[in-house]
Chains A and B, each alone.
Chain A
Amino acid sequence: MKSRTRGRDLLHRWEGNPVLTVEDVPFRANTVFNGTPMETDDGKVLLLIRVEGQQGYSLFALARSEDGLHFEVDPQPVMMPALEGPYAPYESNGIEDPRATKIDGTWYVVYCAAGNWGPRVALARTGDFESYERMGLISEPGNKDGVLFPRKIGGRYARLDRPIGQGVGSVWVSYSHDLMNWGDSEVVISPRGGFWDEYRIGASVPPIETPEGWLEIYHGVKMTSAGPIYRIGTVLMDLEDPSRVIKRSDAPILSPREDYERIGDVFNVCFACGAVLDQKGNMKIYYGAADTSICVATCTLDQLMTESF
């Protein structure tokens, strides 16, 4: 048999997957999935992870690693849904899907506040990775999958998010002077009929700056009679105006194939929430699998830039 230069997916699954399951969580929980990595100054990788409690709503815990592959979960959650105060009605169904971005030395976490009137994009920040200060609820209801760009664009902070218009969930870009008030929203990419991302899409990994443009690793969904299939793809956006799309992957870079991606609370889900990139261009992409565990996949930035499009 002729040897193939490429496997089934562009991303390479780590052989030790999954890196975290509910067995690794030191308190009672239902599942752990959708974690976002934060690199410390001394080279450790911390994962802020979504833990779904047995009650059914989600909270955040912290997992620590020396090598980005082997993690220990802290004994207590680091962020719980607000029970009182102005955030409580907007987080009554939990906090979900954190995405961390470092801007000018500060780590910001964009998360989904699941509340009485639908999901909203919310923003917090941390100095020590253990305490998280809520800054605000920064979207209208019906919006999720918010990620911050790692630097200002044209003098303003920028974010991607996923509001829904006329039943179609597209990825949009918005801008802000203060991270609290957002405007000049514009659509970036929408679902593509007939493709693997024909039903829903959303931003996944905070955008990565490259000389050719902003690389966004996003998720796309195809609906089937047995439910949705969540896959991972790439899009390259203009550095100065991210609503200008330069390239978009025709094929996914990762699709659910392994048992841990196919079988779980939600079948057939690969859902990335962050990546780390070392100086040699090696990437580790962290993704939730089947809404039941956290996995890691690797590749190089060069590969993504040359082979995914």
Chain B
Amino acid sequence: MPARKRRGAPRDLVHRFEGNPIISMQDLDFQCLDVRNAGVVRIGGEVLLLVTIEHLAGTQCFFLAREGSRGCWHLEPEPFMTPSSEGRFERHECKGIMDARITELEGVYYIFYLAFGETGYRLGLARTSDFKSVERLGLVSEPDTKGGALFPERIGGRYARLERPGEGRSIWVSYSDDLVHWGGHRHVIGPRGGYWDCHWIGPGAPPLAIDEGWLLVYYGAKQTSAGPIYRLGGVILDRGDPTRVVGRTNIPLLSPRERYERLGDLTNIVYSCGALLDADGTLTVYYGAADSCICKGTTTVADVVNRCTAGKETF
């Protein structure tokens, strides 16, 4: 590396990709209002992103993006999923669908998304086997619940998800036998007074299985007089009982610092809907920045685990 003198420790544990942002509005072949968050999945060797695009009229839908050669990302010309006009879905999706989170479970790709309709936000659940066609399973939460993320394995024989109910703005877990009827809701973690995640939190990337438990990259928001600052943190949950917290980062894994994270439709946001884990322990976090582009960054599971289980860091 030429020139720039290195000053002490890196600012954030997640190392930003030099080519960030990987997808922004300028990269698209069509007009839209903006590019939001993206869920991620790896099929074979190919990485797919399910990107939230805000249409010129303001409603949102999902486009599929594939990584081409030399790190360029290509969006498919037609949306993968648009708000449903079908009976029971229409009134709950009429204002848009957003924030897809993809989980592979037992050979099927499940997509938790946020449905925005007449009664507020709700979690929608859909599934696909090939990312060509998609089947909606239902609207599976009460109103104002966000951040649905399905675990990639059953827990105690049941499907399990993390979610962020509107009341209390904490992360909860719930369970289901059929993915339609959900119960057993329990509080997992909440905002921490005085911390960077003191006002509200929610699931980020769907949980990843690691030796120490479930690794969840979550977001935490701190409210300021100029609006909230969204940062990313990590928490490790027990594999058999996700309400048991093994460790949680005291300081963020990633904070908005770059211009593309600070400036956009909303300001000062890094927000993840998906991360990929490599066999060598590399963790690639895909994140939306300032609600206006898609970025990625890398770190290692070992570093995140250390930070989750280390003592309180005060500086």
Contact = CB atoms under 8 A, between A and B. Distances in A.
B141 interface: yes
A172 B142 contact: yes
Contacts of A119: 167
Contacts, number: 105
Contacts of B180: 183-184
B4 interface: no
B119 A141 contact: no
Interface in B124-163: 138-145, 163
B140 A141 contact: no
Interface residues of B, number: 36
Interface string A158-191: 0000011110101010011110111111110010
A172 B120 CA distance: 13
B44 interface: no
Q: Max chain A CB contacts within 10 Å: which of B91, B167, B174, B178?
A: B167
Contacts of A143: 142, 167
Q: Max chain B CB contacts within 10 Å: which of A185, A186, A190?
A: A185
A244 to B, nearest CB: 12
Contact of B140 (A86, A117, A183): A183
B142 to A, nearest CB: 4
Contacts of B121: 165-166
A142 B165 contact: yes
Interface residues of A, number: 35
Interface of B: 88, 91, 118-122, 138-145, 163, 165-168, 170, 172, 174-178, 180-187, 190
Interface of A: 86, 89, 116-120, 136-143, 163-166, 168, 170, 172, 175-178, 180-187, 190
21 contacts: A117-B187, A118-B165, A140-B165, A140-B185, A141-B168, A141-B170, A142-B168, A163-B144, A164-B166, A166-B143, A170-B119, A176-B183, A180-B183, A181-B176, A181-B177, A181-B182, A183-B181, A184-B138, A184-B180, A187-B91, A187-B118
